[in-house]
Amino acid sequence: MRNLIYSLYEKRLSSKITGAEARTDLPKHVAVMLDGNRRWAKVRQLSKAADGHAAGAQKIFEFLGWCDELGIEVVTLYLLSTDNVRNREAAELSDLLQIIGGLADDLADKGNWRMRLMGVRELLPPALLERLQAAEVATVDRPGTQVNLAIGYGGRNEIVDAVRDILRERADKGESAGQIADELTPELISAHLYTGGLPDPDLIIRTSGEQRLSGFLLWQSASSELYFEEALWPDFRKVDFLRALRAYESRHRRFGA
């Protein structure tokens, strides 16, 4: 009975968002902080945190399917932070990196998505980095949703990397420090971020009830709408996503005002 109720509610929400009376301002770029995998495994008394990470990886395929149905153009998924790489226990991190490698392989094999790796590549094990870069190359010409995988990612690192790229690029052209400073603009920095060439996220969703960005897309989120969902990521349902989209549609975006 509960499943039937949720099914009917899901259809009702979907019709409000995509039906004849729906508004047309669905987000072009949705970013998600996939939080709660370890707690999901603990609640179910599973033996390893990796069981939660594996369940979370499988949920990504469902989620991308929902985005395809709704015509979401760009999706950014926060999978692993720089702090995670440096501070997680070795055994859990090893399991998680294997799951991420398998996820990238499967995304390249099964979908029509274009993938982009976002993060400090030097932090990742060479074998994993090779798999991730192979997925980027294999999907570069696909016409589907742009899927950004934030792995070994930190928002501050991203901004530092962007400024470094600008300094190196301009210095190679013989420009002085003063010239570079005079030409530095928010638009120039944006173009050198990991998301360069893509729209900033319209909507950022974080699961598991936590209400903070934790360094995610610090520059790009200046005008993003934030939505915090209580469900742990592996339990995130289509109806939860539709509720987030309905909340987004109901807000009057002020773009910094």
Tokens of 212: 């903070």
- Annotation says 182 is catalytic: no
Q: State the Cα–Cα distance between residues 7 and 73, nearest whole angstrom.
A: 25
Contacts of 1 (CB under 8 A, 6+ apart): none
Tokens representing residue 82 in the block: 């720089």
| Catalytic residue, candidates 3, 25, 35, 83 | 35
- Buried-exposed string 11-46: b where 16+ CB fall within 10 A, e elsewhere: eebbeebeeeeeeeebbebbbbbbbbbbbbbeeeee
Set 68, 84, 165, 235: catalytic member: 84
Q: Is 84 a catalytic residue?
A: yes
Give 123's Cβ-side CA count (13 Å radius). Answer: 20
Q: What amino acid positions are annotated as catalytic residues?
A: 35, 84
